[in-house]
């Protein structure tokens, strides 16, 4: 761990100058307490750095939560071993791609029976929160059970004992993004009228005790729950397809579901603060967590160490070294195919920006995180599903 300043602690051994400067800028805000914690996967983000833990006194920066509110991971450990699996993994990949829309949620045509109770729960929560999600997305219900694109994925993996895991990454989809963008814009508007100079307009904040703050928290919590249920819905569909493929029902030995774009109120260094984890997971003592690598590399099942300096947090993944545009200009489909050798996946130029070389080496990230989490399992990919 490196002390960059009294208000900025850094766990990233790979850190470019622009990311460092962005983190310094955020950490210098007067309401940051006690300090900003920069995770090993840190890279440049909108307003605030992705891979940072941002504790704030009586205020929240919406852009520091992230635009994919509640994005996170879910994993299920099955009773199956690699030796139990059929050899034709392509059919499983195609079945998963058939039952889960892989990009925009409007590719869902109807609400599946498995999603009905979850949508009913979300409608009740929205009514209690005093808002109608349809003001952001008219048919938001159809987005429940859709994956999205970018670094979102579905994987079948195996651990060091050859136990098979089902693993996926997704968030609150278009509805969460619309909610986030609305409140980021609102914070900017408030900032222009009432706040002192900010080094970046996306660091505009909402003050606790104001109607704008209360509205953001209510809708944020709803979107976080949408994201959690979205992962549960997709995992149920993946489990059903896996069961059909392997020829037997899945017995879930373990299920872990955790956010990495969220905020919640916690006590640190003697004060109640709002902790926004943007590209970071909660890693209190004993907390289960999931840290995926990039496409084709290892993922980790972890347990939090409860490191107080990190504000009980850990990285959420590998973290980008190349922007998407730079990756598309630098790497080729042939290189992606070589990186994915031995893994069943859909070879497409759409995924070049997800090539492992565009990310930090996950093993280095995990080495940097040694005082933040304990590794329980290291997973290798067998099947990889991505959204366009």
CA 205 vs CA 35, 108, 226: distances in Å = 17, 35, 23
Q: Which residues are tagged catalytic?
A: 316
Distance CA 123, CA 113 (A): 16
List strands edge to edge, sheet with 2-5.
Answer: 2-5, 8-10, 36-43, 50-56, 271-278, 261-268
In degrees, rounded to 5, the angle at the alpha carbon of residue 146 between the alpha carbons of residues 142 and 147 is 160
Instruction: Give Cβ neighbours of residue 263 (< 8 Å, ≥ 6 apart).
Output: 60, 65, 220, 274, 275, 276, 277
In degrees, rounded to 5, the angle at the alpha carbon of residue 144 between the alpha carbons of residues 86 and 206 is 130
3-state SS class at 170:
strand
User: What angle, rounded to 10 degrees, do the helices at 113-129 and 211-246 form?
Assistant: 170
65 membership: H or E segment, kind and range: helix 62-65
Tokens of 154: 């579905």
Distance CA 81, CA 85 (A): 7
**Buried b or exposed e, range 129-154, using 16+ CB within 10 angstroms:** beeebeebbeebbbbbbbbbebbbbb
């Amino acid at each position: 761990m490196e002390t960059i300043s009294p208000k900025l602690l850094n766990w990233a051994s790979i850190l470019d100058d622009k990311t460092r400067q962005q983190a310094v800028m955020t950490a210098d805000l007067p309401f940051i307490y006690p300090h900003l914690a920069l995770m090993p996967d840190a890279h440049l983000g909108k307003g605030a750095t992705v891979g940072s833990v941002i504790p704030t006194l009586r205020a929240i920066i919406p852009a520091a939560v992230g635009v994919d509110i509640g994005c996170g991971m879910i994993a299920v450990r099955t009773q199956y071993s690699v030796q139990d699996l059929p050899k034709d993994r392509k059919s499983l990949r195609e079945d998963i791609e058939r039952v889960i829309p892989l990009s925009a949620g409007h590719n869902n045509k109807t609400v599946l029976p498995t999603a009905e109770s979850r949508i009913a729960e979300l409608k009740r929560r929205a009514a209690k929160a005093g808002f109608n999600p349809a003001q952001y997305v008219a048919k938001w219900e159809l987005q429940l059970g859709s994956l999205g694109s970018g670094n979102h994925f579905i994987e079948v993996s195996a651990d060091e004992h050859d136990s098979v895991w089902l693993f996926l990454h997704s968030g609150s989809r278009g509805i969460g993004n619309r909610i986030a963008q609305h409140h980021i814009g609102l914070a900017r508007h408030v900032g222009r009228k009432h706040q002192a100079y900010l080094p970046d307009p996306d660091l505009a904040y909402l003050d606790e005790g104001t109607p704008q703050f209360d509205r953001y928290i209510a809708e944020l919590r709803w979107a976080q729950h949408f994201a959690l249920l979205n992962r549960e819905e997709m995992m149920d569909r993946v489990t059903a397809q896996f069961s059909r493929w392997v020829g037997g029902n899945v017995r879930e030995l373990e299920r872990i579901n955790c956010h990495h774009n969220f905020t919640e109120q916690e006590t640190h260094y003697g004060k109640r603060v709002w902790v926004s984890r943007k590209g970071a997971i909660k890693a209190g003592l004993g907390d289960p967590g999931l840290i995926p690598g990039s496409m084709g590399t290892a993922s980790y099942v972890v347990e939090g160490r409860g490191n107080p300096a990190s504000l009980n947090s850990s990285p959420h993944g590998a973290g980008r070294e190349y922007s998407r545009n730079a990756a598309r200009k630098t790497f080729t489909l042939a290189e992606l195919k070589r990186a994915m050798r031995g893994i069943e996946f859909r070879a497409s130029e759409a995924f070049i920006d997800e090539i492992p070389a565009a990310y930090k080496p996950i093993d280095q990230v995990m080495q940097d995180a040694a005082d933040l989490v304990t590794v329980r399992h290291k997973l290798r990919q067998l099947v990889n599903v991505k959204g366009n």
